[in-house]
Amino acid sequence: MSASTVVADVVDRPLDLAAHVAAVADARAGATVSFIGVVRDEDGGRSVTRLEYHAHPTATAVIADIAREFAELPDVLAVAVSHRVGTLEVGEVALVAAVSTRHRGEAFDLCARLVNEVKHRLPVWKRQEFADGTDEWVNCP
């Protein structure tokens, strides 16, 4: 069975969790699991003031490939995942994912795997700005 809906994007505007959840709505689904990754106010004991996400030009194609790979898994009915780029303040959403399946266990597992795969493969790098005026690049090749 192939998923009926696949949404995947890298955007420079706020992400909408409700839109992602709506995109994976499916009458066959017994479960929808969603995830939001937000900018937190600390990392490694240092106070974070904001993040700046930068994407490689292939990022949109990469996230689409990941979403299609998950859509082809037998238990997935629908999948939606997006990552934001640009400057984000503490509390803003950087990553949204939603997966629908027939059963909750599958949905939890597959959503977690989807998020981990995006974090692992997506060519997006972040620059963290700290309250002490320093900064740091993360996941940068």
CATH number of the domain at 126, please.
3.90.1170.40
Count how many domains the chain has.
1
CA distance 45 to 116: 23
The string of pLDDT tens digits covering residues 83-133 is 999 999 999 999 999 999 999 999 999 999 999 999 999 999 999 999 999
- DSSP helix/strand/coil, 17: helix
Task: Identify whether 116 is part of a domain.
Answer: yes
Residue 136 lies in a domain: no
**Which residue's entry shows tokens 């898994």?**
73
How far apart are the C-alpha atoms of 61 and 49, rounded to whole Å? 30
Classify residue 97: in a domain, yes or no: yes
Tell me, yes or no, whether 141 lies in a domain.
no
| Domain assignment present for 137 | no
Structural domain includes residue 70: yes
**pLDDT > 60? residue 1:** no
Q: For 71, phi and psi rounded to 5 degrees?
A: -65, -25
Residue 115 lies in a domain: yes
What pLDDT is stored for residue 139 in this prediction?
80
The mean pLDDT of 58-85, rounded to a whole number, is 96
pLDDT level of residue 3 (50, 70, 90 thresholds): low
Rounded to two decimals, what is the model's pTM? 0.94
Model pLDDT, residue 5: 75
**How far is Cα 140 from Cα 119, in angstroms, rounded to an integer?**
12
User: Could you list the residue range(s) of the whole structural domain that residue 122 is in?
Assistant: 5-130
- Structural domain includes residue 26: yes
